[in-house]
């Protein structure tokens, strides 16, 4: 098996985009593969994939999504709507001198990747989705769905949607909050069945971190890794990242013309068997023959949580490179 190229080969740069600027990290040469992270992460979430894809003969590019890391952080809440994030990806491909790309996303990045492929099939020739399945636009208004899920508790997405509320919990101790959030959704540290679900908060004075597991970090996350993530968010604050959640109803309205639309391009899905995204959206996975007719590779990793490309980097790299190689035939 190829040994990944050293991290010294990573190239940092910024490009002009609708957001103002986008920071990206690039490694390798060959067909372009754009890697889009989720919440609360950064380009660094792809640190294990960049060298592996470069070694396999691809130009791997991981960006900081607008509002994160060294990318611009617009002040307006509605500057984080899905249509704007898609246009950032289009601008990035063009700025790199390419006409087409494969786009791969994790968590919110999966949704961003799917929307990019749906809106611009002429640019994004294939799409890889990690952790969060594709569900076509449409259906009930998102805030109404989340309200119905909550019962006597409040769903974390609803909690994130109120400006300033989640920031007040997170920002006084960002490193500690991130450590708890990562642990809550990692296979080796997540709460056991029967313990309070960290995806919900108590309605009166509740905080997400009240339900985070204590103790050690998940095996995939070193103290140094945590320092990288915490350092970025301590510098930027959390509002840019949280604004993604605050645009879900706007996205629902913006994407109305695409209601029920399938993604036709070749696609990949990798989910974790212990990830709530996989279990809650099982119906979306079952619908893939209709919604992802180009699906050529689909995998559920046993014993894996939400941070899939960090929890299982070797396995994800093997599945990802094998799928990418199949596209070249």
Positions marked catalytic = 107, 306
Q: Within 10 A of 316 (CB to CB), how many other CB atoms are there? A: 24
Helical residues (DSSP H) of the chain, grouped into ranges: 49-55, 82-95, 108-119, 142-150, 156-161, 165-170, 174-184, 223-236, 239-242, 248-254, 276-280, 282-286, 288-291, 308-311, 313-327
Q: How many CA atoms lie within 13 A of 258 on its CB side?
A: 22
Query: How long is the chain?
Result: 329
Secondary structure letter of residue 81 according to DSSP:
S
Label the pairing between strands 20-27 and 59-63.
antiparallel
Distance of CA 94 to the CA centre of its chain: 22
Q: Which residues contact 10 (CB under 8 A, 6 or more apart)?
A: 25, 26, 27, 50
- What number of other Cβ atoms are within 10 A of residue 199's Cβ? 17
* Structure token pair of residue 58: 């691809």
Q: Please state at what angle helix 82-95 crosses helix 108-119, rounded to 10 degrees.
A: 70
| 239 Cβ neighbours under 8 A, 6+ residues apart | 67, 73, 163, 167
H or E element that contains 58: none
Between β-strands 200-202 and 153-155, what pairing exists: parallel, antiparallel or unpaired? antiparallel
Beta-bridge mates of residue 267:
127, 295
């Amino acid at each position: 098996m190829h040994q990944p190229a050293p991290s010294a080969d990573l190239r940092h740069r910024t490009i002009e985009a609708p957001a103002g600027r986008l920071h990206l990290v690039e490694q390798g040469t060959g067909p372009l593969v754009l890697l889009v992270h989720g919440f609360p992460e950064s380009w660094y979430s792809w640190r294990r994939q960049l060298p592996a894809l470069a070694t396999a003969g691809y130009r791997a590019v991981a960006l900081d999504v607008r509002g994160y890391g060294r990318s611009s952080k617009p002040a307006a809440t509605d500057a984080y709507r899905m249509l704007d994030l898609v246009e950032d990806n289009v601008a990035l491909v063009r700025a790199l001198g390419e006409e087409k790309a494969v786009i791969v996303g994790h968590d919110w990045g999966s949704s961003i990747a799917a929307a990019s492929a749906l809106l611009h099939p002429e640019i994004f020739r294939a799409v890889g989705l990690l952790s969060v399945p594709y569900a076509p636009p449409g259906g009930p208004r998102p805030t109404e769905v989340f309200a119905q899920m909550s019962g006597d508790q409040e769903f974390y997405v609803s909690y994130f949607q109120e400006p300033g509320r989640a920031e007040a919990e997170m920002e006084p101790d960002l490193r500690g909050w991130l450590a708890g959030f990562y642990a809550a959704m990692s296979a080796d540290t997540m709460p056991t069945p029967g313990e309070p679900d960290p995806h919900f908060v108590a309605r009166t004075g509740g905080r997400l971190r009240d339900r985070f597991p204590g103790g050690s970090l998940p095996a995939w996350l070193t103290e140094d890794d945590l320092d990288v993530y915490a350092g970025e968010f301590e510098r930027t604050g959390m509002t840019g990242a949280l604004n993604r959640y605050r645009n879900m109803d706007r996205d629902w309205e913006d994407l109305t013309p695409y209601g029920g639309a399938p993604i036709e391009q070749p696609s990949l899905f990798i989910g974790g068997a212990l990830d709530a995204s996989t279990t809650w959206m099982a119906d979306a996975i079952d619908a893939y023959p209709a919604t992802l007719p180009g699906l050529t590779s689909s995998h559920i990793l046993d014993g894996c949580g939400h941070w899939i490309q960090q929890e299982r980097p070797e396995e994800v790299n093997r599945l990802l490179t094998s799928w990418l190689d199949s596209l070249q035939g």
